[in-house]
Structure 1
Amino acid sequence: MNPQPEGHDLESPCPEDIKPDALLLPEASSWPQFSGAGEYDNIKLIDDIDELTNVPSIPDNWITARLNREFKGLASIWYTEMKKIHGRRIWPLWKSQITQKYSNGTWIWQKTMSFENEKYSVEKSPYVWCLRQSKRLKDIDPRMNIQMRNHKLLTQTPGEL
């Protein structure tokens, strides 16, 4: 069964200007939301939206038009101000602005501190802890290879494994 846009009647024909792949555009409620507060994940926001841009029949303006729904709190204020300054922009330009604003030195330092402060303990799920810590390491240094990530993870465990 093909996914249909919200409120689309399966019996009525699809408008001619909408190609079948465009029906794959997720409902607004399932898009990632981003506040820019706490241990935020701007990388996931960018990756999720990048994935949508890989569908050729989903126009860039459909994607960027939904950005205002995805930003919450301080990130929403930042986005609104940037939109006033720059107007409508294509996704690669928004991606660059989000990266510049939210993947800064302070963000890397916060990820580093979170990684260093969260030691493994037997009360935690090893799977969840490893995934969270590995994600932090990828955010800190995307070029870090798996062996180095594993070595750094092992430094966060007590005693010998």
Structure 2
Amino acid sequence: MEFKEDFELPDRLVTARYNTLFTRSAHRWYIKLRQAHGHQSWTWWKTQIINKWANDAWRFKVETAFESAKFNADKDKALPWFCQQKDRLTALYPEMSEFMIHRKILRQCGGDLEHAVKSRTTEKSSALVLVG
């Protein structure tokens, strides 16, 4: 429904993109369901996606990936690393504020960077910006 509201696209145009959007195991899962159930609405597919991936195993995998991804200035580019971490937290906790998301990500940086940013910001800051 969000696609229809945001882009005024009918369901058939949204669902037609699934064949190219899904990759690897998700693509195989999509093909199997499409063959079994035929063309379905976005609402139906959204329910199937949530049932398939929004479970405890998925949550554990995403949480583990977030916690194990510590920022390393020598090997990571700041923006892609930050965006990936933000996507993980947003998927896990859609209701979390931007400030708290940024704060959790900052903790993954550790060391001097974390201290430098924390000592120069307050909770009233609208956003924390990592430049690298």
| TM, length-normalised to structure 2 | 0.68
Match of 1:157 among 93, 109, 117: 109
Residue 145 of structure 1 is aligned with which of 84, 91, 97?
97
The alpha-carbon deviation at position 69 of structure 1 amounts to 4.1
Contact 1:121 1:158 in 2 (8 A): no
Per-residue deviation, 1:148: 1.4
What does the per-residue CA deviation read over 1:22-54, in whole Å, with 9 as the maximum and x for residues that have no partner? xxxxxxxxxxxxxxxxxxxxxxxxxxx943x33
Q: CA RMSD in A?
A: 2.3
Structure 1 equivalent of residue 84 of structure 2? 132
Distance 1:73 1:84 in 2: 17
- Give the SS at the match of 2:40: coil
Structure 2 residue aligned with 1:113, among 21, 44, 64? Answer: 64
Higher helix share: 2
Are 2:53 and 1:97 equivalent residues in the alignment?
no
Q: Which runs of 5+ in 1 are unaligned?
A: 1-48
Deviation, 1:112, is 0.8
**Structure 2 gap segments, 5+ residues each:** 117-132
Matched, 1:60 2:6: no
Offset of 1:96 from its aligned partner? 1.3
TM-score normalized by the length of structure 1: 0.58
Q: 1:99 to 1:122 in 2, by over 3 A?
A: same
Tell me by how many angstroms 1:95 deviates: 1.3
Structure 1 residue 78 and structure 2 residue 78: aligned?
no
Amino acid at match of 2:109: T
Give the deviation of 1:75 after TM superposition.
2.1
Letter in 2 for 1:153: I
Q: Of the candidates 73, 86, 107, which is equivalent to residue 122 of structure 1?
A: 73
* Count of residues in Structure 1 that have an aligned counterpart in Structure 2: 111
For residue 89 of structure 1, report the CA deviation from its aligned partner.
Answer: 1.2
Distance in 1 (alpha carbons) for counterparts of 2:83 and 2:17? 29
Relative to structure 1, the CA distance from residue 117 to residue 86 in structure 2 (aligned partners, 3 Å threshold; closer, same or farther) is same
CA contact (8 A) 1:111 1:140 kept: yes
* C-alpha distance in 2 between matches for 1:122 and 1:69: 34
Among all aligned residue pairs of Structure 1 and Structure 2, give the percentage whose two residues are the same amino acid: 31
